[in-house]
Amino acid sequence: MPGEVARGDRVHLRRLGPEDRDAFLEAVARSRRLHEPWSSPPATPEDYDAYTRRREQRALAVVRSDTEALAGVYTLSRIFYGRFHNAYLGYYAFVPHAGKGFMHDGLELVLAYAFGDLRLHRVEANVRPGNVRSVALLRRSGFRLEGSSPRYLFLDEAWRDHLSFARLAEDAPPVLGAHGPIEVREVTSLNWRAVAGVRARREQLKWVAHISRYLALCAYGGDWRPLAISAGDEVVGFVMWARDPDDLSYWIGGFVIDRRHQGLGYGRAALDAMVTYLRTMPGCRQVALSYRPDNTVARGLYASAGFVETGEMEDDEVVARLQVRPLRRRT
């Protein structure tokens, strides 16, 4: 297609042009509540025309391949070469496509384009700390937290703090948390089959679901994020996490160690790795989880890690919470 720069399974990437103006402005209008206060995309024809004519940036539309609808936009701006080879990344999704993985798919295409066609070495993104979904998108695509920038940009009549993330051309998929021999990693095209093959013991199926159900919940539920539990290069378990928008706690769910790898201490190591990871997330003060009252093994494991039952119930499960101090990720 005209202007197309990359194509994936579910989305393709192309330069925004005059032909996209009406669809873009309609998408911005219906997505206003989603964007505020994090981004301010052009909302008038004049602003859109100026936006797409800027020579110092590439404005790239994330387009659903099944419907040709605009799912969102990425921008690569201030593209430097010489000894730097860097660009700054901006982005926003559109309703009703947000939270369905299209922006993650699009970001993988943007990075391939940036490190391939544009020959960049580094892509930087600066995000306000409270924009949890945006931070999660960057982490899922291998961006590393490089530090914080107090009062970085003047937005909404005040100077706002930002977190600085970067991804390098040679970066491998990130290890998000580790403890002992265990690492928690993103679920990617390289390991998802091994993750889907994780199996609990037969007698444990009254407490946990099949991993395929958890993966479907992560893909289509909009809240939970899947992770692979690995020992070296081997996937030995599954876990997922989410943020509760009501009390801002971070939840651990779907925690399963494969039946072939139980009894080796991997469960406790994976739990410690998850807590280490979640402590790096914006505003994390509390990690929560739930389990059936008759699951005495899980109850003992979580109690040994410091989780305290609160008296709350989540459906038929007991809720336990762990108070934590935020931990700045080292890079």
Neighbours of 167 (CB within 10 A): 22
Ranking 154-168, 223-237, 310-324 by mean pLDDT, the lowest is 154-168
- Please give the angle made by the CA atoms of 193, 195 and 200, to the nearest 5 degrees: 125
Residue 271, token pair as written in the block: 């739990």
Give residue for tokens 């799912």: 71
Band of residue 172 on the pLDDT scale cut at 50, 70, 90? low
Is the pLDDT at 105 greater than 80, yes or no?
Answer: yes
How would DSSP label each residue in 179-234?
A: ETTEEEEE--TTTHHHHHT----GGGTTTS--HHHHHHHHHHHSS-EEEEEEETTE
Supply the pLDDT for residue 42.
Answer: 94
Residue 93 and residue 71 in contact, taking contact as beta carbons nearer than 8 Å: yes
Give residue for tokens 């459906």: 315
Q: At residue 119, what is the residue type?
A: R
Share of the chain above pLDDT 70, in %: 96
- For the chain, what is the mean pLDDT? 89
Neighbours of 141 (CB within 10 A): 22
For residues 252 and 100, the model is more confident at 252
Is the pLDDT at 2 greater than 60, yes or no?
Answer: no
For residues 9 and 224, the model is more confident at 224
- The string of pLDDT tens digits covering residues 25-44 is 999 999 999 998 888 899 99
pTM: predicted TM-score of the whole model, two decimal places: 0.55
Domains of the chain: 4-168 (3.40.630.30), 175-323 (3.40.630.30)
Is the pLDDT at 12 greater than 60, yes or no?
Answer: yes
Supply the pLDDT for residue 298.
Answer: 94
| List of residues 6+ apart from 92 with CB closer than 8 A | 31, 34, 35, 38, 39, 41, 72, 73
Residue 196, token pair as written in the block: 């889907």
Supply the pLDDT for residue 147.
Answer: 85
- The string of pLDDT tens digits covering residues 45-75 is 999 999 998 888 899 999 999 999 999 999 9
Q: How far apart are CA 289 and CA 253, in angstroms?
A: 6
Is the pLDDT at 331 greater than 90, yes or no?
Answer: no
For residues 266 and 191, the model is more confident at 266
Supply the pLDDT for residue 191.
Answer: 84
Is the pLDDT at 329 greater than 60, yes or no?
Answer: no
Is the pLDDT at 328 greater than 60, yes or no?
Answer: no
Share of the chain above pLDDT 90, in %: 62
Supply the pLDDT for residue 1.
Answer: 52
- DSSP helix/strand/coil, 18: helix
- The string of pLDDT tens digits covering residues 184-243 is 988 876 788 999 999 999 999 999 999 999 999 998 887 899 999 999 879 999 999 999
